[in-house]
Amino acid sequence: MKKIAASLILLSSVSAFADTSSLQKLSGGDLDLASQIKMQKQLNLDNPFVIQLFSSWKAMGPVEMSSNQWIELILDKQYEKALSLLPTINDFKLSKVKAATELYLLYQTGHVQTFLTQWVEVASSTNLLQTEIGIALDQIIGSKSTKLILDNGFYISPEISAKLAKIESIPSHLNYSLQAMKALRTRVNAINWIGKLDESDPLRMPLAQTALLHYAKEGKLGASAKIIKDVVEPILKKSNNEEELSLYFMTLGRLLYQAGAMAESKKYYDLIPESSSYFLKAKTESLWAHLREKDFSRTKGELASLELSMFNDKFYPEAYLVSAMANVMLCEFNESRAALNRFIEVNRKWAKEIDKNINDPKALPVTANFFINNLEKARASLVKEKVALGNKKLDSKYSNSIDNQILAIDNSLHLEIASQWINRKAMLESALYKMKFVKIELISRMRAVEMNMQIAGSDEVSRQNAAPARKNQMSFPRDRALWGDELFHMSATVINKCINGKLTGEKKLST
C-alpha cells in the first residue's frame, strides 16, 4: 500500500515539474537560451591531413576569430569558400600550416595544374616534405599521384626541372611521380626511379623503354636484357595492351639485331600483328636483318608480300632503299631502277611536306606521342582551370601563373612538333645518302655485266664528268632523270637483266 502511495506522489510531482509556465512569467523569463547554448559540432577527421591540421590548430592556443572560422570551413569540407578566404588569413600562428593547407584546398577543388606548380614551389623552397603535415598531404595523394599527372597532363618547364632537382632525395609519392616524368624527358637516371614507383604505376613501362634506349645506344645490351627481364616482362604479364606488347617485340628485335643475332631478331619482328601501329616499321626494319644475312631472295619476297605501293602515302623511305639494294644484289636491274624511281617520286612529295612543316607554327605532329599528348592535356586543363578560377574570383596570382604556363606550353608544343619534322628530314637525308651507294654498286655491277656478257646493245652504261662534291642535302631531280644527284652525275639505261639473275663470265663479282 505504501509503494502505491509513493508512486502516486512521484507521478504528481513530475506533472508539477513539467508545468513551468507560471514560473516563466516571473523576472528573467525572457532569456533566449537558443542563442546562448551552442552544441559542439561532430568532427569528421576522415583523412591524415585534417587530423594534422586539427591537431596543429588546437596546439596553437587562442587564434583570431577569422582563423577559427576558416579552419572550421575546411573541417566542414567547404573547400571552395575556404580557398576564396585564404588571402584574408594573416594570423602569424597559422603561417606554419597555411602553405600546406593552400595546397590541400587547391587539390580538393580540382585545380590540378595550380596545385602541382605550387607544390613544386613550396616543396623545393621549404622543408614541407619533411614535416608531419607535409607527409600527411602526401598520404592523401599517395598512389593517385601518377594518375593525377597522366590524366591532366603537366608541363615540366626548365624552371620546374631545376626545382625538382633540389628534392630528388626526399621520399614522397608525388615527388617520385614528378621525378619520373622529368626523367622521361631528360633521359637522365630513368632507371633509378623505376624501383621507387609502385609495381602497378603506369610510368614504369615508359621509364623502362627510356632506360632501354639509353643502354642500347651505349652498347650495354646486358643491362637492357636485365631491364626487360626484371621490369618489362612482369608488367606485360598483367597487360593485354597490344601496343605495349608490340613495342616489347620491336625492342627485342632491335636489340638482337644490334647484337648480330639476325635470325632471332626476325622472329620477334614477325610477332608484331598487322593491326599494330608498329607493323610497317617492324617489317621495314626486319628487311635489314634479311639483307645482313644476304638472303636477297627472301628480302624480295617480304617486299612483295607488303605490296610496296602501300608505302606511297606513308613515310618509309628505307623500304625503297632496301628494295633497290636487294635487286642490285640479285642483278635485277630493272626492278632496282623501279625502286629508285618510286623512292624519288614518293619522297619528293615528302621533302616538300617536311620543308613546309618544319617552320610552320600551326603544323600538325607527325605522331601524337607521349610528350605531345601530355602537353595537349596540360594546356586543356590550364584553360579550363583559368575559367573556373575567374568565375570563382579567386586570387589573381593563380590566373597570372596560368597565362605564363599556357604560353610556355604553346612554345614547347611547337618545338616538339618541329623536332618530329626535323627528325623526318634527317631520316630522309640518311636514306638519300645511302641510296647514292646503292647507285654506285648498281653501276659497278652493270659494268661487270657489260664486260662479261657481250650482248650488243643489251646493256648500255655511260658516265658524265663528276661535279664538285657538296654537303649532303635533301633534294630531288626536277628533270625526272634517274641519276640526278650532284655527287656522281652518273646515268645508265638498262634493257636486259642478268641471265637468271646472276652474273656470268670469267670474272667473279664479290657481294
DSSP 104-172: HHHHHTT-HHHHHHHHHHHHHHSSGGGSHHHHHHHHHHGGGHHHHHHHH-----HHHHHHHHTTTTS--
Q: Please, which pLDDT band fits residue 155 given cuts at 50, 70 and 90?
A: very high
Distance, C-alpha 325 to centroid of its chain: 36
Asked if residue 356 belongs to a domain, the reply is no
Report the alpha-carbon distance of residue 146 to residue 182 in Å, rounded.
12
Above 50 in pLDDT, residue 506?
Answer: no
Q: How high is the pLDDT of residue 211?
A: 86
The values of phi and psi at residue 386, to 5°, are: -60, -45
Report the alpha-carbon distance of residue 202 to residue 144 in Å, rounded.
11
Tell me the average pLDDT of the chain.
79
Q: Please, which pLDDT band fits residue 494 given cuts at 50, 70 and 90?
A: very low
Q: How high is the pLDDT of residue 395?
A: 64
Q: Please, which pLDDT band fits residue 419 given cuts at 50, 70 and 90?
A: very high
CB atoms within 10 A of CB 40: 5
Q: What is the pLDDT of residues 347-399, one digit of tens each?
A: 889 999 999 999 898 999 998 889 999 999 999 999 999 888 877 766 677 77
Instruction: Provide long-range contacts, Cβ within 8 A and 24+ apart, for 198-206.
Output: 198/143, 199/234, 201/143, 201/146, 201/177, 202/146, 202/147, 202/150, 203/146, 203/150, 203/177, 204/231, 204/235, 205/232, 205/235, 205/244, 206/370
| Number of domains the chain contains | 1
Q: What is the pLDDT of residues 221-261, one digit of tens each?
A: 888 888 888 888 888 888 888 888 888 889 888 888 888 88
Q: How high is the pLDDT of residue 25?
A: 55
In the structure grid, which three cell numbers stand for residue 106, read together? 587547391
Its domain, for residue 103, covers 45-151
Above 60 in pLDDT, residue 511?
Answer: no
Q: What is the pLDDT of residues 179-198, one digit of tens each?
A: 999 999 877 688 889 989 99
The values of phi and psi at residue 153, to 5°, are: 75, 155
For residue 72, the one-letter residue type is E
Angle between helices 279-292 and 262-270 (to 10 degrees): 160
81-108 burial by CB neighbour count: b if 16+ within 10 A, else e?
Answer: ebbbeeeebeeebbeebbbbbbbbbbbb
* Dihedral angle over CA of 377, 382, 388, 389, nearest 10: 160
Q: What is the pLDDT of residues 318-345, one digit of tens each?
A: 888 888 888 888 778 888 888 888 888 8
For residue 134, the one-letter residue type is G
The single-letter DSSP state of residue 232 is: I
Q: Please, which pLDDT band fits residue 41 given cuts at 50, 70 and 90?
A: low
Q: Between 466 and 237, name the one with better pLDDT.
A: 237
Rounded mean pLDDT of 12-33?
52
Asked if residue 69 belongs to a domain, the reply is yes
Q: How high is the pLDDT of residue 5?
A: 52
Report the alpha-carbon distance of residue 57 to residue 89 in Å, rounded.
14
Rounded mean pLDDT of 254-280?
88
Asked if residue 191 belongs to a domain, the reply is no
Q: How high is the pLDDT of residue 319?
A: 84
Q: Between 15 and 440, name the one with better pLDDT.
A: 440
Q: What are the residues whose beta carbons fall under 8 Å from the beta carbon of 118, sequence distance 6 or more?
A: 102, 103, 106
Q: Please, which pLDDT band fits residue 139 given cuts at 50, 70 and 90?
A: very high
345, 328, 276, 342: which is closest to 511 by C-alpha?
328
Asked if residue 115 belongs to a domain, the reply is yes
Report the alpha-carbon distance of residue 217 to residue 224 in Å, rounded.
10
Asked if residue 104 belongs to a domain, the reply is yes
Asked if residue 140 belongs to a domain, the reply is yes
Asked if residue 113 belongs to a domain, the reply is yes
Determine which helix (DSSP H) or strand (DSSP E) holds 493, and give its type and residue range: strand 490-494
Q: How high is the pLDDT of residue 28?
A: 52
Asked if residue 177 belongs to a domain, the reply is no
Per mean pLDDT, which range of 76-90, 254-268, 299-313, 324-338 is the poorest?
299-313
Q: How high is the pLDDT of residue 355?
A: 92
Q: Please, which pLDDT band fits residue 451 given cuts at 50, 70 and 90?
A: low
Portion of the chain with pLDDT greater than 70, in percent: 77
For residue 47, the one-letter residue type is N
Per mean pLDDT, which range of 106-120, 142-156, 232-246, 460-474 is the poorest?
460-474
173, 165, 169: which is closest to 203 by C-alpha?
173
